[in-house]
Amino acid sequence: MKAGIHPVYEESRIVCVCGNVIETRSTVKDYHVEICSSCHPFFTGKQKLVDKAGRVERFRRKYAKKSEEQPATTGQ
């Protein structure tokens, strides 16, 4: 490694708004993040699934009416 061209790799702290602090090593001294693995809904099991039932049926009903109104062309 060449001397003087590499950044300093030192102890670092990652601080989340929920209060979780993670000690690690990085070239940046401190990080402040909005969400971490301790408070993210996917990792905590509190993830709420969006109910998408009925969207396909609603789409088919909406466009089925339009296709019935317009006669099909024979392409001649």
Is 16 marked as a binding-site residue? yes
Q: Are 39 and 47 in contact (CB under 8 A)?
A: no
Is 30 marked as a binding-site residue? no
Residue 41 confidence (pLDDT): 66
Is 39 marked as a binding-site residue? yes
Provide the total of helices (H) and of strands (E) in the chain, helices listed first: 2, 3
Q: Would you write out the chain's pLDDT as a tens digit for each of its 76 residues?
A: 688 898 888 999 989 888 889 899 999 888 888 888 788 766 666 666 555 667 777 888 888 877 666 665 665 5
Q: What is the DSSP string of 10-58?
A: EEEEEEETTS-EEEEEESSSEEEES--TTT-HHHHT-PPPP--TTHHHH
Is 18 marked as a binding-site residue? yes
* Length of the chain as a residue count: 76
Q: Which domains does the chain have, with CATH numbers?
A: 10-68 (4.10.80.400)
CA distance 59 to 57: 5
Residue 49 confidence (pLDDT): 55
